[in-house]
Structure 1
């Protein structure tokens, strides 16, 4: 499978570069392992760079040996390594404005943008109540949204309870009894009089039948629940005040980005009303419930707002950033996206090659390379028409493959080692299949659903027919060689058709599983 993928990518690249021959780009195809005897003799006089598996060139070794499939490794010489790939001379590279960059290990900061709204800080919200029954005589603040300062008059209230409590306090003062004085003074405090109001009463000895309630904090009037002349009780919310010196920003973080969120992490906040200004906040709370409809998690950010430019209800953008350590990365422009991610690597001044890569996390500038490159490898980052042309061939190649005729069956012979009835698979120790270039080996094969399997096949010698389904081979015909009525070789093909065709003639089964070799 690894060899097929590499061949596919290389063929794709060669096709594109061939179409660009007008600008001076040309391709040199690497020599196969079965070169002429003269080339083989020349190779024997030189030192190989490394050895590769015949059926999987991605498997490399720094010394001779056996591949995972038990086959002799093939040496690769310097000329072979340089010859395969893409060749562009310096003049044409300059004309194409080719730019390169090195794959390097560097600290990576993951960044995600999310959206939300500005809200009041609940710690700066105050509800104004009275502790006695009474009537509102006058409202000094009558409009919602009005700004008030701490200590500013809000309303005046007449309450018989306050009048009686003041009278008791004055009587206690005349008596001189400290116990009575303390008890009556505490009662005034419990009913809502401030220390300043109590001291004024003590000095003037005059009862105030209407008391003025003042704002306990600076802020804005969010709610007014009464009008002048109305009767109120301790349950009545007369007014609500909110502050804006500090606000909350509630954002919705996508489920895939929740791993970036940690309590206390700094967050950059922006609003459309002031596009050039940024506020620095911190994550104070992560809500426990994910929104199952939007797959987002609410997160609360606390932001200082000394100039009060942030107002409740504004739409906000929050940028969350988290450093995740050092990773091997290349510029985003270097990665060619498709069914297979790949990059163009620079082998030397005039040779380039294709490397299939596995990518990881991405930032605005870089892409992590998990597999396929090493630190210091040089990759191409520009000449966009070349990269785009190669990338856009994916769909064309897919259409071309759909137009190809169905693969022809291939026949082989071997001994059944095991049968997996449940998964509809057999393990066969087969003889060499020259058409496919397969040596003798033991492999697992999927079997067409239209063929009945049983454990009786174990140990039997069979003729079998394979057909390629996408990138894998599926057994579609089986003929047991040691049946009593086996015909001579000249009639074997006819006998196979009589005994091995599926019981129900259908099109290809379409299994996506193929043969798996055993060492």
Structure 2
């Protein structure tokens, strides 16, 4: 390479380096006016309306503590009341599953005493009837013949009586012989006997002859033997009624029998005359008071049970025959137990539950229950004496509990 070119290249390199050095040492320009830093946009939290009730979005429960928290206003609105549990003397009971039956001493199957055609049906199923009230009218040929025989006997008696009275007068005047007088008296006695026989036959047919009766004498009524209710009816207009076939069944339902099986192990605990409490599913929370009136003298060979009977008054006819019932028969023994009103124990997820008042709220507590004593129920476990348990308003707490469980599931 020529020397001139090398010198020129070196000179250009030095010039470039000087230019670069001058650029680096150039003073910084005056700083521009600082602009404000951008401010992050603040999320506005809506102010809470003090009139809004707590629990609109989520029930006011303390899930972590398993308690239901209610304000004083909510407690008053729900009608919640608590009761401090204390042991009470409770009569020991034998509780039996039973069936309601009609009082068998006050039930009658009504049928005619003679074959007859049904001409009129006066009573309907379910009617309340009085003693002696006609239930149906029947027409019987046999009864008509019996009335005809009675009338004939009456006529014969009247004729025989007149002959006898005339014979008495003639005998007194010694106009007829003793033989004629005795014959007249014999005919009179025979006529009297025939009339008595005809009258007896009418009474056996459950009828009586009445000259003032209007209509055919072959028609007669079948009547209710006592006041009661028609619980069965088979009478059909125009059919032939027979003495061996019941037309109506009348029962006095003012008292009923509660029939149950008493096991051998309980025989020594109950006595005839003991008070009993009967409950049925048709009227929850209600109890019907009765008395044990009968204990069988024999034990069933197969079930090893003894038939027992409780008699219960039924003036308003609310109890019906063939209902299932539970009979609690009181014994002479008493025990100490914790009890609650039956409405205070509710089924929650299939488990009997009571609500206990705690400092933080109301705690649902699973309990085990025993026998029912009147309108109360015995608690065998789950709560202790001295604890405050909800006795009114438990349904409101149950509703809140179920609502909270649904919310947790979501």
Structure 1 length normalisation: TM-score? 0.39
Between structure 1 and structure 2, the one with the greater Rg is 2
Answer 1 or 2: which has greater helix percent: 2
Structure 2 length normalisation: TM-score? 0.48
